[in-house]
Amino acid sequence: MGSFGKAIYSVGFWIRETGQALDRLGCRLQGNYCFQEQLTRHRPLMNVVDKTPVVDKEAFVAPSASLIGDVQVGRGSSIWYGCVLRGDVNSITIGSGTNIQDNSLVHVAKSNLSGKVLPAIIGDNVTVGHSAVLHGCTVEDEAFVGMAATLLDGVYVEKHAMVAAGALVRQNTRIPCGEVWGGSPARFLRKLTEEEMAFISQSAINYSSLAQVHAAENAKALDEIEFKKVLQKKFARRDEDSTLEVVRETPTQHLS
């Protein structure tokens, strides 16, 4: 590093130190309220060297989710709160209209016991339930992965297949179209019914619609959120939301 570079480094160092000092001073002035941050500083999208997440403008990524490296998310898909999609040593591809629900993990394989390089490929209109783990596997269109299910390297879930909640699918297992697999280790349980196939399709549509509601809420600025809180405290007695199909009652002791 030359003299000019050292000078620039020193200036940057003192700017950062000044900023940290001001932050500490602000915390002291705020007292007990200093850590009550209203908006998260979490970074949902993160590069790994030259690999950058690519998310369609009509997809929803929750603010507490983490998309890292070579990750692609298609139109109308949703990545929910607490999810981690880490495409650092290989790629992750999510199709259109797919939902990866809260606290799920999707990762890839650079190498394994079989010597295979495995990306994670998830097709269109797939539902992945809460806290599922998908590692170096392929899930075709309109398949269903239940809550807390684990899919290991090389697993292939065909279209319209279902992995039951809590199932552990061993490496290189192929789950044929129209079948339900469950258990630990997972095995064939039965054929999927027509009603269940319709449910899988409807589940993807429901989550796509719900994601739009969450995306709109997360896009609001802090002053808009605070203003809405004031209005709710002052005027709200009953709040009916036709989009979410829920009714919220405001307890009388919380009204001013």
**Same structural domain for residues 173 and 59?**
yes
Element (H, E) at 3: helix 3-30
Which range (19-28, 47-56, 157-166, 178-187) has the least confidence?
A: 19-28
**Spatial distance between the Cα atoms of 232 and 172, rounded to a whole number of angstroms:** 53
**Same structural domain for residues 22 and 146?**
no
The answer to whether residue 89 is domain-embedded is yes
**Same structural domain for residues 148 and 22?**
no
Q: Which residues contact 147 (CB under 8 A, 6 or more apart)?
A: 101, 129, 130, 131, 132, 165, 166
Domain that residue 73 falls in: 45-195
**Same structural domain for residues 15 and 75?**
no
**Same structural domain for residues 127 and 21?**
no
Q: Look up the CATH number of the domain holding residue 103.
A: 2.160.10.10
Residue for token pair 């003192």: 14
Decide which of 139, 174, 195 is a domain's last residue.
Answer: 195
Give the total number of structural domains in the chain: 2
**Same structural domain for residues 12 and 108?**
no
**Spatial distance between the Cα atoms of 157 and 138, rounded to a whole number of angstroms:** 6
**Same structural domain for residues 52 and 158?**
yes
**Same structural domain for residues 98 and 174?**
yes
Taking only the tens place, the pLDDT of each residue in 184-228 is 999 999 999 999 989 998 999 999 999 999 999 888 877 777 777
> 3-class SS at 160?
coil
Taking only the tens place, the pLDDT of each residue in 24-81 is 788 778 776 555 556 667 888 999 888 999 999 999 999 999 999 999 999 999 999 9
Percent of the chain whose pLDDT exceeds 90 = 58
The answer to whether residue 243 is domain-embedded is no
Residue for token pair 């690519």: 54
